[in-house]
């Protein structure tokens, strides 16, 4: 069923109402590229299988760090398992999914890396169902180190911002209503979008998430994407009244857009 409500965050609506903010443009913190990838996978004639490692271990990063992958070409193919003789996906098999760059909102295609195995990366996928992962070739992306992460506590209506493993900020938020609750889980920021009208329902910016509503499967052709964004109803802060998005005050929204990188982890917890 198609629903019509201007407060629900969706792909088509965002594309029409918001402008993409690139890393080089307004908003978005600078990043430092991680060091070179480990050796490539063994050839298909080799029986030894590389051991999957966390990106923190693979790149010698601090435990709070996240590795973010920006697509370097027009598309990225994701596989259920790394192709090769030692894996379930035979060489030459079609990918499980292919993602275009820029994405459907016109933003750079970004993934959050969860495992590294030779020259293959397991990444979170910006699609339904929530929590989807796939394996992509490291040669298809550029890698960056991100030291920020966000935690949203639904019960206390609080957004916590961390840097280098330390909490640096706490902000009250609006969360989803009982009829359309904010979906908990471990996600990441997929894009940063700027509203042409700073006083509109989204505030000045919207952070799209790899989180999709369990209530709304479609809205005007979009996938019911959840976001963190501002609000023109600050009097509702601290309540559960949204259609699933996390709303902050407009000043907090603008502040986060200046420092919080795309690709940052967002943990939404009860």
- Full set of structural domains in the chain with CATH: 11-25+148-269 (2.40.440.10), 32-41+50-146 (no CATH)
Say what the pLDDT of residue 40 is.
Answer: 52
Tell me the per-residue pLDDT of 105-116, one tens digit each, with 9 for 90 and over.
Answer: 899 999 999 999
Say what the pLDDT of residue 24 is.
Answer: 34
The whole-angstrom separation of Cα 214 and Cα 129 is 9
Q: Contact 263/68 with Cβ under 8 angstroms?
A: yes
Say what the pLDDT of residue 20 is.
Answer: 67
Distances (CA, A) of 245 to 25, 163, 240: 25, 23, 10
Residue 255's nearest CA partner among 199, 204, 183, 213 is 204
* Bridge-based pairing state of the strands 246-247 and 225-229: parallel
Say what the pLDDT of residue 35 is.
Answer: 75
Tell me the per-residue pLDDT of 72-128, one tens digit each, with 9 for 90 and over.
Answer: 999 999 999 887 656 666 667 789 999 999 998 899 999 999 999 888 999 999 999
Q: Contact 84/44 with Cβ under 8 angstroms?
A: yes
Say what the pLDDT of residue 188 is.
Answer: 98
pTM: 0.88
Say what the pLDDT of residue 81 is.
Answer: 87
Which residues are within 8 A (CB) of 236 and not within 5 positions of it... i.e. 6 or more apart?
174, 247
Residue 257's nearest CA partner among 195, 199, 200, 212 is 195
Instruction: Using 70 as the pLDDT threshold, list the residues of the chain that sit under it.
Output: 1-18, 20-31, 37-49, 84-91, 218-222
Q: Contact 209/187 with Cβ under 8 angstroms?
A: yes
């Amino acid at each position: 069923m198609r629903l019509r409500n201007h407060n629900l965050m969706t792909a088509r609506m965002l594309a029409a109402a918001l402008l993409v903010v690139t890393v080089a443009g307004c908003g978005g913190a600078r990043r430092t590229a991680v060091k070179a990838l480990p050796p490539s996978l063994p050839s298909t004639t080799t029986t030894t299988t590389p051991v999957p490692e966390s990106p923190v271990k693979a790149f010698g990063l601090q435990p709070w760090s996240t590795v973010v992958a920006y697509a370097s070409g027009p598309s990225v193919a994701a596989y259920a398992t790394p192709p090769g003789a030692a894996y379930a996906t035979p060489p030459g098999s079609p990918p499980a999914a292919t993602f275009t760059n820029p994405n459907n909102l016109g933003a750079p295609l970004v993934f959050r890396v969860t495992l590294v195995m030779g020259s293959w990366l397991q990444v979170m996928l910006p699609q339904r169902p929530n929590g989807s992962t796939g394996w992509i070739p490291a040669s298809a992306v550029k890698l960056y180190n991100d030291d920020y992460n966000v935690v949203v506590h639904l019960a206390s209506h609080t957004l916590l911002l961390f840097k280098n493993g330390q909490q640096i900020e706490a902000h009250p938020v609006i969360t989803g209503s009982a009829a359309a609750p904010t979906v908990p889980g471990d996600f990441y920021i997929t894009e940063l979008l700027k509203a042409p009208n700073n006083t509109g329902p989204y505030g000045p910016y919207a952070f799209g998430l790899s989180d999709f509503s369990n209530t709304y499967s479609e809205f005007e052709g979009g996938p019911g994407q959840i976001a963190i964004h501002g609000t023109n109803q600050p009097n509702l802060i601290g309540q559960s009244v949204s259609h699933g998005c996390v709303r902050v005050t407009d000043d907090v929204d603008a502040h986060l857009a200046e420092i919080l990188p795309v690709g940052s982890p967002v943990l939404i917890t009860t």
